[in-house]
């Protein structure tokens, strides 16, 4: 009796961290199984795409229908910015309100903003936070659009607006 | 002979379609045999062959049929090499669902080419646009080994996980989120931890590689799991990086047998590095089990391998650090605003200097998100309020310190090695003894703390042999610990974790409980609060229970309940633990039990420490002095 208890306790305890060494199934191009509490906009739409199982001939592509992924599981360059923004909305919003942070920096690099213009970009983004994040339900597409709008009126940043 | 026939049959479609240069095929195969390429370590690395313990042969850890060109390729390196060379003559054009073997096995192709010098006239070179597109999307310039440290209050995760990040050219430390990472994991949606542990230990899962944007892993580890991340940038040459990616490409659709302790994530990452730089033989160093931090040490032991280390504190670490630096008034405001007990336009807040206002609003937002993600708060309009917090913060024209959390003095790869031998001389129950104990893994709270997660202990398979010197000398198994976990997580105004412990194993019953001192199975558990008296001092109170079982106990199985109070001081080179424990045993003769002790450990060198453990133990009316002096050697 005690022996059984012993073994099962050992197993149970190890199981306390199901994460040690093994994560959940990670989908290619990677947007299937993440838990995204409180996420808004594009991210949740992309996340809602169910993974349809993989065919053995694909390389890293997992779900044939994932938006914005190539069949071999990398992000298409045309949607890089929107997919990144969608997946990092909270961090970008938080960085923008503070005027610094890795998530905002990475966004700036995806937008092609030169190093010498970054500090100014952060300041403009912080000052215009309400114009970029217009509500708590804003989507990634709207954020990028709004940011473009703000930058278009700034002499130093207008050249980055596509 | 039958095998040859089979291979030829397989070749027929190729023959018909491509009319390959048969003579050249045979010539290449003969040359490969002369050069013993099938026995070359690089061939074994590329195909993930490991030696069979029984018959001296080899088998591959890969289980996917398409990974091999020969029908018996999984068990026969030479047949696979011959078939691979033949396959390279295929004229299969690349489609969305099919690749030419030169592309599907692009690392093998380039290695064999480097050894056999293929004649492009006789073995036409195929273009691999899908690979090239993929390669350029990843845009590799550098490889970084990523080690997420343990979860808070979960010592089992100290074993951790490793993954590889492929950095782009021209990035700085603040724009690496967009890099891709290569991750190996068991493929499962299992949420039942017990099932997961059982199947993970027994090989019930298939593991496979995936490639994901690094920001996703950072979200997962740093923002949701609250694990600090260590990034080890490696010095690999451009050709080595190219080989690594080519091999990763080959592995995309491949499944592997997955074992929690042996063929796990960290082991499989080593196979990628072995392919990238032939001759390191990293996987061969881990035939029995692969603890992630040990695999990092093995990689960094390669001369000149480490370029730079970057510490990425988790959202929780940053928040705790920030909260700890606040004065009580700021803490009160932060908590009130996060909890919505105070309005955003609180007059007390507005009276603070702008720097402190920013600090309070940022911390309040981070704390709210932490409580929301960890499901302790569940306001329906969390997003709206979080948004208002950010909006209020953005109105303060001030940029706070971007990176306040200091990097820990000792990195995980610089901590003591995970196995420990302990040589002890001591006295217990009025008898002197000598003891030798061996613990394969991992860390207890008295071991030198540098590089390990604070307040986290996990020991596996600690076995002790003791020779009693007083009275009739005898040598016996003193104890065997299956598992011993202790987690001390301090509580404060903001966080309220419960510390806990569990230990399972066999140990000698005290002579006061049973004069025969039989070996009894035990399960020990407890939980309670911990408070930090200082940065280095933790005070813990726990209620505890114990189950003891042995056929040889006159009382049969027995249960005990009680409590313990302990104080842990963790210094740089010295740790101290004071413990007071009381227990009541529910046996035929109900009995009380007391244990008061102090343990002191000094770090003598990188891999050596000295431990003194002394106190009184026994029935409260009949306590015995005991003391033990141990020399610990880590290896």
Task: Show the tokens assigned to B302.
Answer: 């390669």
Average pLDDT, rounded, for chain A: 68
Residue B36: Cβ within 10 Å count? 10
pLDDT given at position B187: 75
Q: Which residue in A has a C-alpha nearest to residue B98's C-alpha?
A: A57
**Residue among A136, A162, A2, A9 nearest B552 (CA):** A2
A10 found inside a domain: no
Q: How many domains does chain A have?
A: 1
Instruction: Provide the residue range defining the domain that includes A156.
Output: 27-162
In which residue are the tokens 């929780």 written?
A: B316
pLDDT on residue B207: 85
Assigned domain for A21 exists: no
In whole angstroms, give the CA distance from residue B44 to residue B247.
13
pLDDT given for residue A86 in this prediction? 87
- For residue A139, being part of any structural domain is answered with yes
Weakly modelled stretches of chain B, pLDDT under 70: 1-19, 152, 156, 189-193, 196, 552-555, 588
- Of the CA atoms within 13 Å of residue B137, those in its CB half-sphere come to 27
- Of residues B251 and A59, more confidence is placed in B251
What lies within 8 Å, CB to CB, of B315 at 6+ separation is B222, B223, B226, B366, B369, B370
User: Using CA atoms, how far apart are residues B373 and B362, in angstroms rounded to an integer?
Assistant: 16
Which chain A residues contact residue B216 at CB under 8 A? 30-31, 34, 87
pLDDT value, residue B199: 75
CA-to-CA dists, residue B154 to A13, B460, B485, B545, angstroms = 10, 15, 9, 20
Angle at B293 between CA B232 and CA A26, to 5 degrees: 75
Range 139-198 of B in CB contact (< 8 A) with A: 151, 154, 156-161, 171, 174-178, 180, 183, 185-194, 196-198
Which pLDDT score, from 0 to 100, does residue B195 have? 72
Identify the H or E element spanning B608: strand B608-619
At residue A80, the pLDDT reads: 84
Question: Which chain A residues are within 8 Å of B161, Cβ to Cβ?
Answer: 19-23
From CA B183, how far away is CA B252, in angstroms rounded? 11
- What is the per-residue pLDDT for B410? 93
Give chain B's domains with CATH numbers: 2-127 (no CATH), 136-312 (no CATH), 326-394 (no CATH), 415-634 (2.40.128.130)
Q: Is B593's Cβ below 8 Å from some Cβ in A?
A: no
Beta partners for residue B145, in sequence order: B164, B232
Tell me B408's DSSP state. P
The confidence score (pLDDT) of residue A34 equals: 28
pLDDT at A59: 37
User: How high is the pLDDT of residue A78?
Assistant: 75
Q: Could A70 and B187 be called an inter-chain contact, meaning their C-beta atoms sit closer than 8 Å?
A: no
Asked if A6 lies within 8 A of B161 by C-beta distance, the reply is no
CA A52, distance to chain mean position in Å, is 21
Predicted local distance difference test score (pLDDT) of residue A23:
34
A52 part of a folded domain: yes
User: Residue A11: which of B197, B253, B400 has the nearest Cβ?
Assistant: B197
- A47 inside domain: yes
| pLDDT per residue as tens digits for the range B26-61 | 999 999 999 999 999 999 999 999 998 878 899 999
Largest interatomic CA distance in chain A: 78
Q: At B142, phi and psi to the nearest 5? A: -160, 150
User: B123 CB contacts (<8 Å, ≥6 apart)?
Assistant: B21, B24, B28, B88, B89
For residue A111, being part of any structural domain is answered with yes
Burial bucket for residue A13 (CB in 10 Å: 0-12, 13-18, 19+): buried
Is the pLDDT reported for residue A35 higher than 60? Answer: no
Task: Give the model's pLDDT for residue B536.
Answer: 93
- What value of ipTM does the predicted structure carry? 0.84
> Averaged over A74-100, what is the pLDDT?
88
pLDDT value for B36: 96
The whole-chain average pLDDT of chain B stands at 90
Q: B490: which residues sit within 8 A by CB, 6+ positions away?
A: B455, B497, B530, B531, B532, B538
| Closest by CA position to B529, among listed B484, B566, B503, B494 | B566
* pLDDT at residue B79 in the model: 96
């Amino acid at each position: 009796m005690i022996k059984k208890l012993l073994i099962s306790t050992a197993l149970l305890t190890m199981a306390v961290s199901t994460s040690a060494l093994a994560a959940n199934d990670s989908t290619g191009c990677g947007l299937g199984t993440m838990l995204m509490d409180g996420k808004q906009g594009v991210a949740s739409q992309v996340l809602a795409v169910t993974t349809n199982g993989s065919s053995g001939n694909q390389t890293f592509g997992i779900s044939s229908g994932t938006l914005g992924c190539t069949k071999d599981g990398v992000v298409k360059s045309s949607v890089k910015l929107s997919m990144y923004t969608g997946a990092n909305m909270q961090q970008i919003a938080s960085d923008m309100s503070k005027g610094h942070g890795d998530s905002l920096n990475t966004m700036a690099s995806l937008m092609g903003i030169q190093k010498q213009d970054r500090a100014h970009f952060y300041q403009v983004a912080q000052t215009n936070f309400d114009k970029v994040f217009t509500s708590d339900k804003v989507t990634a597409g709207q954020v990028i659009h709004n940011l473009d709008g703000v930058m278009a009126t700034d002499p130093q940043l207008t050249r980055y607006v596509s | 002979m039958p095998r040859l026939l089979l291979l030829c049959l397989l070749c027929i479609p190729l023959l018909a379609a491509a009319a390959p240069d048969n003579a050249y095929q045979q010539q290449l195969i003969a040359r490969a045999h002369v050069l013993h390429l099938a026995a070359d370590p690089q061939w074994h690395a590329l195909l993930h062959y490991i030696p069979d313990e029984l018959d001296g042969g080899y088998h591959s850890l890969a289980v996917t049929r398409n990974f091999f060109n020969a029908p018996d390729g999984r068990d026969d390196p030479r047949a696979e090499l011959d078939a691979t060379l033949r396959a390279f003559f295929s004229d299969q054009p690349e489609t969305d669902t099919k690749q030419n073997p030169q592309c599907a096995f692009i690392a093998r192709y380039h290695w064999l080419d480097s050894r056999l010098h293929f004649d492009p006239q006789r073995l036409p070179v195929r273009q691999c646009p899908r690979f090239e597109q993929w390669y350029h999307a990843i845009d590799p310039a550098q490889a970084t080994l990523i080690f997420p440290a343990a979860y808070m209050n979960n010592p089992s995760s100290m074993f951790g996980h490793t993954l590889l990040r492929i950095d782009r050219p021209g990035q700085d430390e603040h724009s690496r989120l967009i890099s891709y990472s290569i991750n190996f994991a068991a493929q499962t949606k299992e949420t039942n931890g017990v099932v997961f542990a059982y199947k993970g230990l027994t090989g019930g899962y298939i593991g496979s590689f995936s490639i994901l944007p690094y920001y996703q892993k950072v979200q997962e580890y740093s923002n949701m799991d609250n694990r600090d991340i260590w990034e080890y940038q490696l010095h690999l040459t451009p050709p080595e990086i190219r080989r690594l990616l080519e091999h990763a490409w080959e592995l995309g659709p491949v499944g592997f047998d997955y074992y929690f302790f042996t063929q796990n994530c960290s082991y499989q990452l080593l196979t990628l590095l072995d392919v990238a730089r032939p001759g390191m033989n990293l996987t061969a160093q881990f035939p029995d089990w692969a603890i992630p931090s040990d695999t990092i040490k093995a990689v960094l032991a390669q001369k000149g391998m480490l370029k730079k280390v970057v510490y990425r504190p988790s959202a929780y670490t940053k928040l705790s650090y920030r909260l700890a630096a606040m004065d009580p008034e700021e803490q009160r405001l932060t908590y009130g605003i996060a909890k919505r007990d105070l309005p955003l336009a609180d007059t007390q807040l507005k009276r603070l200097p702008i720097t402190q206002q920013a600090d309070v609003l940022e911390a309040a937002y981070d704390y709210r998100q932490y409580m929301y993600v960890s499901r302790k708060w569940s306001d329906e309009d969390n997003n709206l309020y979080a948004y208002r917090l950010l909006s209020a913060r953005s109105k303060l024209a001030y940029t706070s310190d971007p990176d306040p959390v200091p990097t820990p003095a000792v990195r995980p790869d610089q901590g003591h090695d995970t196995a420990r031998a302990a040589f002890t001389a001591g006295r217990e129950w009025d008898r002197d003894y000598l003891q030798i104990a061996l613990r394969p893994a991992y860390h207890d709270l008295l071991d030198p703390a540098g590089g390990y997660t604070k307040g986290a202990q996990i020991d596996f398979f600690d076995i002790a042999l003791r020779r009693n010197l007083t009275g009739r000398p005898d040598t016996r198994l003193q104890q065997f610990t299956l598992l011993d976990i202790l987690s001390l997580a301090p509580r404060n105004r903001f966080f309220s974790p419960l510390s806990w412990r569990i230990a399972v194993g066999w140990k000698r019953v005290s002579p006061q409980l049973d004069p025969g001192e039989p070996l009894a199975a035990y399960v020990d558990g407890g939980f309670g609060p911990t408070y930090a008296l200082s940065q280095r001092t933790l005070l813990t109170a726990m209620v505890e229970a114990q189950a003891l079982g042995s056929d040889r106990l006159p009382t049969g199985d027995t249960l005990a309940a009680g409590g313990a109070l302990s104080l842990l001081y963790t210094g740089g080179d010295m740790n101290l633990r004071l413990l007071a424990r009381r227990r009541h045993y529910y046996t035929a003769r109900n009995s009380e039990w007391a244990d008061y002790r102090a343990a002191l450990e000094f770090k003598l060198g990188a891999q050596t420490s000295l431990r003194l453990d002394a106190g009184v133990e026994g029935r409260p009316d009949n306590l015995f002095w005991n003391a033990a002096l141990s020399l610990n050697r880590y290896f």
